[in-house]
Amino acid sequence: MTKEIKNKQTKEVKTKKTAAPAKAVVKKAAKPKKKEVELSLLDAIVAGMQEKKAHQITVMDMRALSGSMCDYFVVCHGTSTTQAEAIARSVEEVVYKLLKIDPSHVEGVANAEWILLDYFDIIAHVFVEEKRAFYGLERLWGDAEIKQIA
């Protein structure tokens, strides 16, 4: 009798061990981590800029800075107000198409010299070349980790 009880216990333990990993995999796939969501939003913003041939796309990681209002700045410029406006529209379209996210606030479309798209954790800045040089966000936030996108 003792052997039968041990065999039953062993089978139960084996059954539980094989069933547990399947549940864990489902939970991981169903709930993405916050960092993965941020990276996909960042990638979508950059893709929207690249689609309209934005110049000098720069990603500034603001997370290590105290007092920063967001996690990332993404900065680029166009050669004219028409291109800057097209870049901003492209960013909105690509982000919405891929992630179904609209910016919480859009600023500067009327003049189209500096368009700001606020996605809470990430702020996209689309400049006309002269205004980008004048305001110099990369110099202003020089302590941030800066990465140029090819």
| Total-model pTM | 0.72
pLDDT of residue 39: 52
Single-letter amino acid, residue 118: D
Alpha-carbon dihedral 13, 16, 21, 26, rounded to 10 degrees: 180
In DSSP terms, which residues pair with 73 in a beta bridge? Answer: 60, 123
Q: Is the predicted pLDDT of residue 55 greater than 50, yes or no?
A: yes
Q: Assign 33 to helix, strand or coil.
A: coil
Question: What is the edge-to-edge ordering of all strands in the sheet holding 122-128?
Answer: 105-107, 114-118, 122-128, 72-78, 55-61, 145-149
Q: Is the predicted pLDDT of residue 107 greater than 70, yes or no?
A: yes
Q: Is the predicted pLDDT of residue 12 greater than 60, yes or no?
A: no
